[in-house]
Each structure stands twice: as C-alpha cells, then as structure tokens.
C-alpha cells in the first residue's frame, strides 16, 4: 500500500454539523434515504394494483415484487437498528489498547472464513505502536465487522491486504482488496460495510473509501491515537 498523506486540520473527523455543511450523508442518513425508495415503490405498486380489476397473473407477479421490496426494507431496517445501537453504546469501559494487537486477533479469528471464501489475508504491521483508549469489546466489534464485510466483497482467489501506520498524532489503518462484480448499492455486504463505517466515525475516525476499476481501498484516519516508536 502506498504511503499515505496525513490529513490537515480541515480534514479532521467530521461531526454531524460539519457533515451536513459539507453535503456528506452520514451512514444513518444514507440508510434512511435508501429505505424510502422500496417503501415508495411498494406504495405505488399497491396503488396501481387497486386502481382497477387485474387478472390473477398480475397479482401473483405483484406479490413476488412486493416480497422483494419487503425483504430489501427488512435488510435496511436491520442495518438502521445496528447503527442506532452503535449510537447508544455507553457501557464499555475505555482502556488503553494496542490497535495492531486487536487487528491481529480479529484476522486470526476470520482466517478460516477467508479460506472458505478463497480469499487470502495479509497483515503488514508498521514499526510503530498504535495505542487507542476505547472499550475493548467495542474496538474488537468494529475491527471484526470491517474485516468481515470486506471479505464478503472481495473477489474469490484474491488477497485482502491490511496495513497500519502512523504520522505525528494520526494513526491509520488501510484495507485494500479486489472487488467482485458490482453488487447492488445496498446489498448485505455493502450494508455491513456501511454499518462498520458508522461505528468507526462514532469513534472519531475519518473514513475514506476509493475504487479504481476493481481495486478498492478503505482508509481509516485515527487522530489523537498515541503513536510510539517501537513494535508492540
């Protein structure tokens, strides 16, 4: 992974007000907007079905399409609930944790899942210690969710690369993978990644996602993390 440029003060993690000013939708806002689309589609479909008598075949097809829209809404509601739960997390006692140790732990936990999907996982540690003060359960959940979501998006037979680093008072985590055929915008893997984004932004991270052809990258900038000079 190429060297990363530290964000300036104006690039620091965005709170709700600055997100709105920048025209950037938070994960929750994206989910609510996405939910409105199948809901509107279902309402329009019902209106058309009731407008005049229809043959039985029409109603059978209408029910199939309605079930698809309902299933999509159920998935979105589940993601909205997860984001809301993230917002309510207050009972995990903060402690000083080595971020790289949590990454190694979660990668080991998911290695068998990765092998089953035909995806290799590599973790490249930087020569710095990255200490973050946060609840251990919360951090473990965020790392697990992020890696799991990316595994579900990665193309079979490719390698998922994870790298860490730090500059001045900013630590970063970079994840790079080759994506498979573009899935629906709010497919289950994409929803998982969006929920993961909400959790990291809640923690104060700046989330960046880029895609060039099939190559995808997520970079998490974590300002305020203590960056030491020795390996953990």
Report domain extents, the chain: 17-87, 91-227
pLDDT at 227: 65
Residues in the chain: 232
pLDDT by residue for the chain (232 residues), tens only, comes to: 444 444 443 333 333 333 333 346 788 888 988 898 889 988 888 888 888 888 888 888 888 998 989 998 999 998 898 888 876 665 678 888 888 899 999 999 999 999 999 999 999 877 778 888 888 888 888 899 899 999 999 999 999 999 998 777 778 899 999 987 666 667 888 999 999 999 999 888 899 999 888 899 999 998 766 666 554 4
What's the rounded Cα separation, in Å, for the pair 173 and 133? Answer: 16
pLDDT at 87: 62
The CATH architecture assigned to 91-227 reads 2-Layer Sandwich (3.30)
pLDDT at 24: 67
pLDDT at 178: 94
Give the residue from 208, 130, 140, 201 showing the smallest Cα distance to 171.
Answer: 130
The answer to whether 180 and 143 have CB atoms below 8 angstroms apart is no
Give the residue from 94, 73, 58 showing the smallest Cα distance to 203.
Answer: 94
pLDDT at 91: 65
Pure H helices in the chain: 16-22, 27-51, 56-87, 99-117, 136-153, 188-203
pLDDT at 12: 34
pLDDT at 158: 95
pLDDT tens readout for residues 121-160 = 999 877 778 888 888 888 888 899 899 999 999 999 999 9
């Amino acid at each position: 992974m190429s060297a990363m440029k530290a964000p300036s003060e104006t690039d620091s993690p965005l709170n709700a007000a600055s997100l709105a000013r920048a025209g950037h939708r938070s994960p929750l806002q994206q989910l609510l907007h996405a939910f409105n689309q199948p809901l509107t589609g279902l309402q329009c479909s019902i209106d058309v079905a009731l407008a005049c008598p229809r043959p039985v075949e029409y109603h059978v097809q209408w029910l199939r399409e309605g079930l698809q829209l309902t299933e999509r809404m159920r998935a979105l509601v589940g993601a909205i609930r997860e984001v809301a739960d993230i917002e309510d997390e207050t009972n995990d006692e903060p402690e000083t944790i080595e971020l790289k140790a949590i990454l190694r732990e979660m990668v080991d936990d998911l290695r068998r899942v990765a092998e089953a999907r035909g995806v290799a996982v590599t973790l490249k540690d930087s020569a710095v210690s990255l200490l973050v003060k946060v609840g251990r359960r919360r951090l473990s959940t965020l790392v697990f969710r992020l890696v799991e979501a990316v595994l579900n998006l990665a193309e079979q037979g490719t390698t998922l690369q994870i790298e860490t680093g730090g500059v001045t008072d900013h630590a970063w985590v970079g994840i790079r993978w080759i994506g498979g055929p573009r899935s629906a915008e709010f497919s289950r893997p994409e929803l998982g990644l969006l929920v993961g984004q909400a959790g990291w932004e809640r923690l104060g991270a700046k989330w960046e996602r880029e895609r060039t052809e099939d190559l995808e990258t997520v970079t998490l900038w974590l300002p305020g993390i203590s960056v030491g000079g020795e390996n953990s």
